Amino acid sequence: MKPRSITASNLILTLDLEPHGEGGFFRRTYQADHRDMLETTGGPRYLMTSIYYLLTEESPVGQFHFNQSDILHYFHLGDPIEYSLIHADGSLQTLVMGSNVLAGQQPQLHVPGGIWKASMLLNGSDGFGLISEAVSPGFDFADMEMGNRQKLTAQYPQHRTLIEKLTRGED
Ligand code: GUN
């Protein structure tokens, strides 16, 4: 029997993913609930959590958002994904996650807590890009802020075009 090719829709079904508020699709795969919670300034958190995260042609952008926790990203399958990171000093770092290591793509990416991050699926033959994230201290909505276009462009006017592309507008 011919193997069924992997598509965005059969990945969403097989991995049981749901739409993420930032764009894309996700499912939490792990939380360290067999260990003591970690006391943070924001309250108790799991030591670590993990998700699958998928970008597709229909939902190709993970909008700018801010996390307190460190996040490790691991690329699995599909087309490369471009990451835009705005550091606290306003500097912009752009890099690509993917499997073409010889072309400079990264299979693993560490994003420290305290910076703004957005991701965008690059054009390719698959129409999706699948990664995993490991978050420590574990993800909690209280530690996350979605990027507000007006606020972010006021804070980082040098990145206006990028911010407008990678945030949701009011209109
Ligand atoms: N981003 C990274 N981890 C998570 C998670 O567990 N839940 C949600 N909603 N977003 C995340």
Q: Whose CA is nearest to atom 8 of ligand 1?
A: 139
Quote the pTM value: 0.96
**Which residues surround ligand 1 with Cβ inside 6 Å?**
28, 49, 51, 133, 135, 139
CATH number for the domain that contains residue 49: 2.60.120.10
Q: How far is the CA of 111 from the centre of ligand 1 (A)?
A: 14
Judge whether 63 lies within some domain: yes
Taking the C-alpha atoms of residue 151 and residue 155, their distance in angstroms, rounded to an integer, is: 6
pLDDT of residue 1: 72
Q: What is the pLDDT of residues 44-96, one digit of tens each?
A: 999 999 999 999 999 999 999 999 999 999 999 999 999 999 999 999 999 99
Q: How far is the CA of 2 from the centre of ligand 1 (A)?
A: 35
Q: Could you give the number of structural domains in the chain? A: 1
pLDDT of residue 171: 53
Q: How far is the CA of 78 from the centre of ligand 1 (A)?
A: 21
Give the DSSP H/E element, type plus range, for residue 37: none
Judge whether 15 lies within some domain: yes
Place of tokens 């390719």: 124
Judge whether 2 lies within some domain: no
Q: How far is the CA of 126 from the centre of ligand 1 (A)?
A: 24
Q: Show the CA angle centred on residue 50, arms to residues 48 and 52, nearest 5°.
A: 170
Which residue from 64, 66, 139 has its CB within 8 A of the most atoms of ligand 1, so it is best to mutate? 139
Q: Whose CA is nearest to atom 2 of ligand 1?
A: 139
Which residue from 18, 33, 49, 119 has its CB within 8 A of the most atoms of ligand 1, so it is best to mutate? 49
Place of tokens 């574990």: 138
CA distances from 153 to 64, 68, 91, 150, 164 (A): 12, 20, 14, 5, 8
Taking the C-alpha atoms of residue 164 and residue 52, their distance in angstroms, rounded to an integer, is: 26
Judge whether 1 lies within some domain: no
CA distances from 93 to 66, 159, 162 (A): 15, 11, 12
- Cα–chain center distance at 102: 23
Judge whether 171 lies within some domain: no
Q: What is the pLDDT of residues 98-143, one digit of tens each?
A: 999 999 999 999 999 999 999 999 999 999 999 999 999 999 999 9
Per residue, the 3-state secondary structure of 7-68, as one string, reads CHHHHHHHCCCEECCCCCEEEEEEECCCCCCEEECCEEECCCEEEEEEEECCCCEEEEEEEC
Q: What domain range is 36 assigned to?
A: 8-165
Judge whether 14 lies within some domain: yes
| Contact criterion met (CB below 8 Å) for 129 and 55 | yes
Reported residue count of the chain is 171
